[in-house]
Structure formats: structure tokens, C-alpha cells
Amino acid sequence: MILIAAGWILLLLTGGGFALDRVLTTAITQNFDDQLEYVLTALIVSAEIGPQGEVFNNRELADQRFLEPNSGLYYQISAPGQEPYPSRSLWDRRLAYGSAHNDLGIHAYDSDQFVDPTTDNPERLRIVERDATLPGSKVRWRFQVAQNREGLDAQIKVLRKTLVRSFALLGFGLIVMAALQTFYGLWPLRKVREEIARMRAGKSRQIERPMPIEVAPMVEELNGLIAHNERQAEEARRHAGNLAHALKTPLTVIMNAATANADDLGETVVREARTMRRQVDHHLARARAVGRRGSAHSRADVWPSLESVERAVGVLYRHVRIDTDGPKDLQVHVERQDLDEMLGNLIENAAKYGGGSVFVTVSKHSGFVEFLIEDDGVGIPEEQRIRIFDRGVRLDSGKPGTGLGMAIVRDVAEIYEGTVSLEESEDLGGLLVRLRLPAAN
């Protein structure tokens, strides 16, 4: 951040300094040219034509430097085929002029046609010139006023030195301020890093120190993430304990039967193995749901999942009619696999234990998507509706099943902060299952 800020500051100050230098240099040069133009106008006004057609000044210009040889301020009046009329300051030198172009307006330019007699270096001149036709003459005369650029260049040099120093100081100050702003602006992140180090060392469970308002939302989200991970770890430990406890009894039964060389050892092993398999399936389904849970990322379209389950159940129970109704654009904060598993268990149960008709209604209420699965079976007595969610409970043992379907639906729904309940269907007379899941749209 500091390097990027420094780069931009240097780039902008360089561009701004260059532009300001051009503006001020142009202004100083224009002021210099305006003074020469004033002298040029006075020279034109004082010029007259003599009896022989020669040009001369009817009065000397006021500046004394025109009378001093090599003074650095010169004028000259020239024309093709005519003898030039120079200022005394030119002495034996003459200003060059070209007759190939006409200067009807003021023309200013630089020239190094003279050599400074004191240093043998080129004497840089600033020249302004203009062509004019004097009364009584048909000749176009060129009037030139030249001045040594030494004073002008000295002013520009002082100006540029001042600009460079000022902009260098300004750039240094801005870079220091950007560095301080970055350093102190990111200082709270160092505090966050220290708090995370304390958590890694086991000295705290979350960030407890008060933080500036700029990073407070990040700290809150971080604490929420830590709490979420702790809950998941606790759920994993609890699942492992529950699974170990659930498998302990069947294993004890098998071990005792094997030790006693019981006659029904084979039947005992098969029976207890089924029990262990149901427990493993249940805990695996719950563990998968916990691992996939994430309200910010989990998202599933309701209608494609419902249609997929309807087709699968329709193949298994061809005599059952399944009707669906509801909006087609609803989404839930649930993984698609878990949504398929919950709807599959509920609709399959309705088809298995109903009388041949299943009606599924989907709607949205108060931030939840509600699924109503109704059948025309005999229903479930109210006093037994709670027991049906217990693992391994089956009210009708005459039909195949593990007794884990409703328990899995309840556990997975609770993982996603949803609910499932059993009621009596008013339209079909059988069981009504009300499943509510968080809406995603």
C-alpha cells in the first residue's frame, strides 16, 4: 500500500510539476517578449525614410544599452538590397534575417548566431521581429529587437529550482503521511493477529479485546466462525459418542452369544448386525448433513428436487398417484443431496403407508419454504407421533424398512435450522407431514 501510494504520488507530482513548469515558463517568457515587443513598436514609430531612400530613427530609443557595444540589447532595421540600420550596441555585428518569409505579425524566436566575446560561447538571444512598410517607401522593412536570454534563463532556473524543491518536499510529506496512515490504519489487524495467537496458545476461546469500529464487523464474523467450528466439533464428538454407545450393546450381545456357543448364534449375529447397520447409516447421514451445512453457501432449487423424488417414488409404487402444487422458483438453504433425502423419505413413506394418493404442496412463509406431504392412509394416532421420530421405531412392521427415515429427516432438518412435524390431513384424511426449511430467495 505504501509503495503504491508513493508511486502514485511521485507520478502525479511529476506530471503536475511539469505542467506547472510549462505554464510558469511560458508566462515569464511571454512577459519578456512583451517588453521586447514594446521596444519594437517604439522602433517602428521612430523610423523614417531619408532622401536617398535609406531608413533612420528620428529619435534615439530611451534604453541606454542600445548605445553600449555588446550590451546584450540590440535592434536592427533591414530590407533586401538596402544597407541595414543597426543599433550602436551591435557594433560590427549584424542580426541575420531571412527574406523568404513575411512577418506581418510579431514573430518571436531564439537564436545563437552571436558569440559572447568574453567567454567565446554562443550568446543566446531572444529576438522579436516584424515587417512593415514605411510612408514614402515601397520597400518592406524588417524591424528586429534582440536581447540576451541570460536574465530570462536565470529567472526560469530559479523558478524550476523552487518548483523542484517544493514538490520534492511535498512528495516526501505525502509519502510519510501515506506511510503513517497505512501503518496506523492497519494497526488493529496486528491486535487481531495477537488475539488469534492467544487462541492458538489456548489462553482464550475467542477475540475478547475491544477493537476499533473499522474492524469490529470482521472480529464479530471471526468469533462467529470460531463458535461455528466449536459447535461442529462438539457435534462430531457427540455423534462419535452416540455411535459408540449404540454399537456397544449389539457387540456385547454378539460376544456373549459367541462365548456361550449359543445355538442361535447365527440368527443373533444377523439381527444385531442389522441393528448396527441402522445405527451406522443414521449417524453417517447426520454427519454428512453437518459437514455440508453452511447457510451462506448451501442452496438448492425446490422444484427439480421434488420432481426427481416424484419420478423415483413413482417407479417404486406405480399404483400411487402423486400430485404436486406450488411456485416453481423457490430455493432453500439446503444442500441438494440432503433435500432429496428428506423429501424422498417423506414421500416414500406417504406412498408406502397411504391408500394410493399423495399430495405435495410447496409454499413460502416468513422466510421459510414449507412442504406439506399428505396421504390418504389411516394416519398416525396423536400419542404416537412423537415416537415415530425415534431411531428404529416402526409402527407397521409388516412392510420393509429400517425405522430410521423419520429420524434422519428430523435430524437433517434441525441441522439446517428447520423443523418437521406430524398432523392430520383435512383433505385426504391420512397423515400430513409439515417440513419447514430456510428459504434462499
pLDDT of residue 297: 61
Tell me the C-alpha distance between 273 and 276, whole Å: 5
pLDDT of residue 223: 87
SS3 state of residue 430: coil
93, 100, 86: which is closest to 131 by C-alpha?
100
Phi, psi at 370, each rounded to 5°: -110, 130
Tell me the C-alpha distance between 129 and 148, whole Å: 15
Tell me the C-alpha distance between 46 and 36, whole Å: 15
pLDDT of residue 148: 92
339: exposed, middle or buried (Cβ count in 10 Å: 0-12, 13-18, 19+)? buried
pLDDT of residue 282: 65
pLDDT of residue 397: 44
Alpha helices in 293-419 (DSSP H): 302-316, 336-353, 405-415
User: How far are the Cα atoms of 19, 51, 160 from residue 172, in angstroms, in the given order?
Assistant: 20, 70, 18
The grid coordinates listed for 98 are 531571412
84 with 78: CB under 8 angstroms? yes
Average pLDDT along the chain, 441 residues, taken 10 residues at a time: 92 95 95 94 91 85 89 91 90 83 84 79 90 87 93 94 95 94 85 85 82 83 85 75 74 84 83 79 66 62 93 89 92 88 90 90 92 89 74 46 66 86 87 92 70
422, 395, 399: which is closest to 409 by C-alpha?
422
Tell me the C-alpha distance between 103 and 35, whole Å: 18
Helix (H) or strand (E) holding 323: strand 321-325
Site of grid cell 403407508: 353
Domain covering 300-438: architecture: 2-Layer Sandwich (3.30)
| Dihedral angle sign, alpha carbons of residues 234, 236, 237, 238 | positive
Domain boundaries of the chain, sorted by first residue: 2-157, 216-292, 300-438
SS3 of 20-61: the string is: HHHHHHHHHHHHHHHHHHHHHHHHHHHEEECCCCCEEECCCC
User: Which residues are 373's β-sheet partners?
Assistant: 360, 433
Backbone φ/ψ region at 166: left (φ over 0), alpha (ψ -120 to 50), beta: alpha
User: Which residues are 360's β-sheet partners?
Assistant: 324, 373
pLDDT of residue 401: 43
Right CATH number for 2-157 from 3.40.50, 2.60.40, 3.30.450, 2.40.50?
3.30.450
Q: What value does the CA radius of gyration of the chain take, rounded to a whole number of Å?
A: 50
Tell me the C-alpha distance between 291 and 281, whole Å: 15
